[in-house]
Amino acid sequence: MKIEKAAVIGAGAMGSGIAQVLSQAGIQVVLKDVKDEFVERGLSNIKRMYDSRVKREALTADEAERLFKNIKGTTSFEDIGSPDIVIEAALEEIEVKLEIFKELDKICPSHTLLATNTSALSVSEIASATKRADKVLGMHFFNPAQTMPLVEVIPGVETAKETVETAMALVKELGKEPVHVEECPGFLVNRVLFPYMNEALWALQEKKAGPAEIDAKVVEFGMPMGPLALFDMTGIDICAHVVNFLYEEYGPRFEPSPLLKVMVEEGFLGQKSGAGFFVHDKANPVKKGEAKPVNPELDRLIEKANKLAECGKAQRDFEAERVILPMFNEAVYALQEGVVKACDVDVAMKYGCGLKRGLLSLASDKGLADCLAQLESYHGDLGERFRPAWLMKKLVRAGVKDFSTSKKEAVCVN
Ligand SMILES: NC(=O)c1ccc[n+]([C@@H]2O[C@H](COP(=O)([O-])OP(=O)(O)OC[C@H]3O[C@@H](n4cnc5c(N)ncnc54)[C@H](O)[C@@H]3O)[C@@H](O)[C@H]2O)c1
- What's the gap in Å between 120 CA and the centre of ligand 1? 13
Residue 314 lies in a domain: no
Q: Domain holding 235: CATH number?
A: 1.10.1040.50
Instruction: Write out pLDDT tens, residues 235-289.
Output: 999 999 999 999 999 999 999 999 999 999 999 999 999 999 999 998 888 888 7
Q: Is 155 found in the same domain as 113?
A: yes
Q: Domain holding 371: CATH number?
A: 1.10.1040.10
Residue 381 lies in a domain: yes
Q: Is 268 found in the same domain as 170?
A: no
Tell me the angle at which helices 189-206 and 342-353 cross, rounded to the nearest 10 degrees: 70
Q: CA–CA distance from 189 to each of 58, 248, 339, 363, 410 (Å)? A: 30, 18, 12, 17, 22
CA–CA gap between residue 290 and residue 286 (Å, rounded): 6
Residue 315 lies in a domain: no
Q: Is 43 found in the same domain as 165?
A: yes
* pLDDT at 404 (0 to 100): 57
Q: Is 352 found in the same domain as 245?
A: no
Residue 42 lies in a domain: yes
- What's the gap in Å between 210 CA and the centre of ligand 1? 35
* pLDDT at 408 (0 to 100): 46
Q: Is 258 found in the same domain as 400?
A: no
Residue nearest to atom 11 of ligand 1 (CA): 89
CA–CA gap between residue 371 and residue 183 (Å, rounded): 27
Q: Are 51 and 64 in contact (CB under 8 A)?
A: yes
Residue 377 belongs to domain spanning: 321-411
- What's the gap in Å between 348 CA and the centre of ligand 1? 22
Domain end position, chosen among 253, 275, 308 = 308
Q: Domain holding 94: CATH number?
A: 3.40.50.720
Residue 313 lies in a domain: no
Residue 106 lies in a domain: yes
- In sequence order, what are the residues at sequence separation of 6 or more whose Cβ sits closer than 8 angstroms to the Cβ of residue 342? 335, 360, 403, 408, 411, 412
Q: Is 369 found in the same domain as 328?
A: yes
Which residues have any ligand 1 atom within 6 Å of their CB? Answer: 9-15, 32-34, 38, 89-92, 96, 100, 117-119, 141-143
| Ligand 1 probe mutation, 33, 93, 154, most atoms within 8 A of CB | 33
Q: Is 138 found in the same domain as 246?
A: no
Residue 85 lies in a domain: yes
Residue nearest to atom 7 of ligand 1 (CA): 119
Number of the ligand 1 atom closest to the C-alpha atom of 100: 31
Our measurement of the distance from residue 22's CA atom to the centroid of its chain's CA atoms, rounded to an integer in Å, reads 20
Count: domains in the chain: 3
**Rounded (to 5) percent helix, strand, coil in the chain:** 55, 10, 35
| Averaged pLDDT, groups of 10, the chain, 414 residues long | 96 97 98 98 97 95 96 97 97 96 98 96 97 98 95 98 98 98 97 97 95 96 92 95 96 97 97 96 85 95 92 87 96 95 91 85 86 96 96 92 55 42
Give the residue numbers annotated as catalytic, written as ranges. 140
Q: Is 245 found in the same domain as 333?
A: no
| Ligand 1 probe mutation, 8, 21, 34, most atoms within 8 A of CB | 34
Q: Is 195 found in the same domain as 174?
A: no
Determine which helix (DSSP H) or strand (DSSP E) holds 133, and give its type and residue range: none
Q: Is 174 found in the same domain as 270?
A: no
Q: Is 102 found in the same domain as 129?
A: yes
Q: Is 356 found in the same domain as 273?
A: no
* pLDDT at 363 (0 to 100): 82
* pLDDT at 401 (0 to 100): 76
Sheet strand arrangement including 150-155: 71-74, 28-32, 5-9, 85-88, 113-116, 136-141, 150-155, 177-180
Alpha-helical runs (H) found in 108-160: 123-127
